[in-house]
Amino acid sequence: MDGNVRVIDRVFDIIEQLAQSASPLGLTEITQKTGMSKSTVHRLLSSMISRHYVEKNPDNTYRIGHKMIETVSYHINGLELLTESKPYLYTIRQELNLTSHLGVLDGGEVIYVEKMDTYPNTRLYTQVGYRSPAYCSSIGKCLLSCLSRDELDEVLYTHSLIRHTENTICNENELRKHLSLVRSQGWAMDNEEYLIGHRCIGAPVFDYRGDCVAAISASGSTTYLHEGIFEDVIRHVKEAAADLSQRMGYIK
Spell out the domain ranges in the chain: 3-64, 73-247
Tell me, what amino acid is at 98? L
What's the pLDDT score for residue 121?
A: 47
How large is the average pLDDT for residues 37-51? 93
Does the pLDDT value for residue 76 go beyond 70? no
Same fold, 3-64 and 73-247: no
Cβ atoms of residues 63 and 75 within 8 Å = no
Residues of the chain above pLDDT 70, percent: 91
How large is the average pLDDT for residues 2-18? 85
Q: Structurally, what CATH architecture does the domain formed by 3-64 represent?
A: Orthogonal Bundle (1.10)
How large is the average pLDDT for residues 76-97? 86
How large is the average pLDDT for residues 83-101? 92
Does the pLDDT value for residue 79 go beyond 80? no
Does the pLDDT value for residue 228 go beyond 60? yes
Does the pLDDT value for residue 27 go beyond 80? yes
Over the chain, what is the mean pLDDT? 89
pLDDT tens by residue, 125-153: 566 778 899 999 999 999 999 999 999 99
Q: How far apart are CA 197 and CA 83, in angstroms?
A: 31
Characterize 213-239 residue by residue with b for buried, 16 or more Cβ atoms within 10 angstroms of its Cβ, and e for exposed: bbbbbbbbeeeebeeebeeebbebbbe
Helices 138-145 + 172-185 axis angle, to 10: 80
Superfamily (CATH H level) for 73-247: GAF domain (3.30.450.40)
What's the pLDDT score for residue 78?
A: 65
